[in-house]
Amino acid sequence: MRPFSYTRAETVQDAVIALAADPGAQLLASGTNLVDLMKYDVAHPTAIVDINRLPLKEIEDLPGGGLRIGALASNSAVAYDRRVQERYPLLSSAILAGASPQLRNAATTGGNLLQRTRCFYFYDPSTPCNKREPGSGCSAIGGTNRIHAILGASDKCIATHPSDMCVALAALGATVEIEGPDGRRDLAMTDFHRLPGDQPERDNTLAPGEMVTAIRLEGNHFARHHTYLKLRGRLSYAFALVSVAAAIDIADGEIVDLRVALGGVAHKPWRDTLAEAEFAGQPADEATFRGIAGRLLAAAKGQGGNDFKIPLAEKAIVRALRQAASGTPQDQVVKAVQ
């Protein structure tokens, strides 16, 4: 860690001003990612703006059956909120598939969105890494890349976004509420994170000085047919190798609306809305599920150590769709795959 100045923001305005004023400033929510990265000598904020006092903890009802989740609502608070469990069980399930109870008690919604990749090299300052040090090279290409991306990677970076929660939010079509020096704006969850391209140092599309204040969810028809299926190196307390958030609106055995988001495979929760649209009106059966998996992974490319993720993701998508269609979502406690 490097010495930094510490201020406690009392209002969102305070925080935004402090953030915009100093390019070295970073927001501190619960710190489970930021403090971790500072200790590993990866993050070097010169100023910490503590946002824990901001009034952003609430989970509020919205007209039309939606919810607004404050950026400081803890992962546990969201996952166990009765309204979330009833209306967005997919979100609850995805959160409970991640990290540990202790971490979820601390971790915030905003922090989870902004958490950085777990790429081994990103975490190890003695190795070249374009995300950590633009232009230094990508050590994961040709290196130890078991956990890396199979979709949307570039020759500059093949990292994945590690969040489980965000995969569900992407599937549910959440909206991110943002506050910045130029005021408030909304951003679709699917546009929040970005692909690495030539600028892997940028994880998302937030402008300097902007912060997340809330996540908005609309009313939806996915409470019955959904699942979050996470595959990982041990049965709990491990990041996803591959995860699938699936939600289907089914009528008379046919797909009315379909959402599939993938975790652990790309620099952002991977969703392909065009592909999803193609399958509307198709029967909710094995053949369709295979078709969807094939379509989503058509451009998948392995890096050696992670080649297995392609067949694994394919099978996982089919399985998740089957779980969702049959109304038997993956239980995050019982470890047998449903």
Partner 1 sequence: MDKGTPSSALPTCAISLNINGTNRVLDIHPWVTLLDLLRGPMELTGTKKGCDHGQCGACTVLIDGERVNACLKLAVSIDGAEITTIEGLGTPQDMHPMQKAFVEHDAFQCGYCTAGQICSAVGLVAEGRAHSRAEIRELMSGNLCRCGAYTNIADAIEHVLDQEGVTPLREAAE
Partner 2 sequence: MLNETKVVGLPLSRIDGPLKVSGSAKYAADHGGHGMLHGYAVPATVATGRIVEIETGLAERFPGVIKIYTHENRPRTAKDDDKWKDAVALPGHPFRPLENDRILYDGQPIAMVVAESFEAARDAASLVRVRYVAEEPHTDLGREQTRSYVPPQPRREEFVPPEPRGDPQGAFGDAPFKISSEYRLEGEYHNPMELFASTVLWEKDGFLTIHDKTQGSQNSRDYVCNVFGLDPEKVTVKNSFVGGAFGSGLRPKHQLFLAVMAALDLKQSVKVEMSRREMFYLTWRPATIQTVSLAADREGRLLSVMHHALQATSRYEDYQENVVNWSGLAYKCDNVRLSYGLAELDVSTPGDMRAPGAATGVTALEMAMDELAYEVGIDPVELRLRNFATRDQNQDKQFTSKALDACYREGAARFGWDGRSFAPRSMRDGNDLVGWGMATGIWEATIMPAEAKVRLSADGKAAVSAAASDIGTGTYTVLGQVAAEALGVPIDDVTVLIGDSSLPKTGVEGGSWTAASSGSAVQAASDAVRNTLLKHAKSMPNSPFGQASQDEVTLAEGRLVLDRNHQVGVSIGDIMDAAGVSFIEEHGKVAPDQEQAKKFISYTHSAVFVEVKVDEELGVPRVTRVVSAVAGGRVLNPKTARSQILGGVVMGVGMALHEEGMVDHRTGRIMNHNIAEYHMPAHADVEDIEVIFVHEEDDKVSPLGAKGLGEIGIIGVAAAVSNAIFHATGKRIRHFPITIDKILETSEEVRCS
Position 128 contacts ligand FAD (CB under 6 A): no
Encoded one letter per residue, x for contact with partner 2 by CB under 8 A and - for no contact, window 145-164 reads -xx-----------------
Q: Residue 203: exposed, middle, or buried by beta-carbon count in 10 A (0-12, 13-18, 19+)?
A: buried
Position 105 contacts partner 1 (CB under 8 A): yes
- Which of 110, 124, 128 lies closest to 169, judged by CA? 110
Residues 205-244 that bind ligand SF4 (CB under 6 A): none
Encoded one letter per residue, x for contact with ligand FAD by CB under 6 A and - for no contact, window 10-49 reads ----------------xxxxxxxxx-x-------------
Least CB distance from residue 274 to partner 1, whole Å? 37
Selection from partner 2, ligand SF4, ligand FAD, none that 29 binds (CB < 5 to 8 A by kind) is ligand FAD
- Assess contact for 251 and 272: CB atoms under 8 A: no
Residues 73-92 that bind ligand SF4 (CB under 6 A): none
Least CB distance from residue 142 to partner 1, whole Å? 27
Stretch that binds partner 2, among 218-226, 229-237, 252-260, 287-295 (CB under 8 A): 229-237
Position 159 contacts ligand SF4 (CB under 6 A): yes
Stretch that binds ligand SF4, among 92-100, 115-123, 239-247, 284-292 (CB under 6 A): 115-123
Residues that bind ligand FAD (rule: CB under 6 A) add up to a total of 29
Least CB distance from residue 238 to partner 2, whole Å? 6
- Assess contact for 57 and 68: CB atoms under 8 A: no
Least CB distance from residue 95 to ligand SF4, whole Å? 24
Residues that bind ligand SF4 (rule: CB under 6 A) add up to a total of 14
Interface residue with partner 1 among 46, 100, 136, 273 (CB under 8 A) is 100
Residues 48-107 that bind ligand FAD (CB under 6 A): 71, 98-99, 103, 106-107
Least CB distance from residue 180 to ligand FAD, whole Å? 10
Interface residue with ligand SF4 among 15, 56, 121, 289 (CB under 6 A) is 121
| SS3 letters across the chain | CCCCEEEECCCHHHHHHHHHHCCCEEEECCCCCHHHHHHCCCCCCCEEEECCCCCCCCEEEECCCEEEEECCCEHHHHHHCHHHHHHCHHHHHHHHCCCCHHHHHHCEHHHHHHCCCCCCCCCCCCCCECCCCCCCCECCCCCCCCCCCCCCCCCCCCCCCCCCHHHHHHHHCCEEEEEECCEEEEEEHHHHECCCCCCCCCCECCCCCCEEEEEEECCCCCCCCEEEEEEECCCCCCCEEEEEEEEEEEECCEEEEEEEEEECCCCCCEECHHHHHHCCCCECCHHHHHHHHHHHCCCCCCCCCCCCHHHHHHHHHHHHHHHHHCCCCCCCCCCCCC
Residues 167-206 that bind partner 2 (CB under 8 A): none
Interface with ligand FAD (CB under 6 A):
26-34, 36, 71, 98-99, 103, 106-108, 110-112, 114-115, 162-165, 211-212, 239
